[in-house]
Structure 1
């Protein structure tokens, strides 16, 4: 299983900011890319986050 790409996507997720911050908007898209990659590898989201 290749989790390198998963780790790369995880590093791109910006930290949570206060509500309405631009980082939260980009976080949403980056998190989706991360969870899509996790699903492609056959992991659940929580499993994927534990790996990183």
Structure 2
């Protein structure tokens, strides 16, 4: 088993996270705007540490 943590894009604001895995699929309810993706991508420590789903 591998431990994992889930954060919303708003909860992650102001934090730098070493490894980031981002799911850009449309959510089941509501919508996804480009700002949500920007916030999620900008929390990583570098582009080599980002995985997109």
Which has the larger share of strand?
Answer: 2
Question: Do Structure 1 and Structure 2 share a fold, with TM-score over 0.5?
Answer: no
The TM-score range, normalised by the shorter chain, is 0.3 to 0.5
TM-score by length of 1: 0.34
TM-score, length-scaled by structure 2: 0.33
Structure with the larger helix share: 1
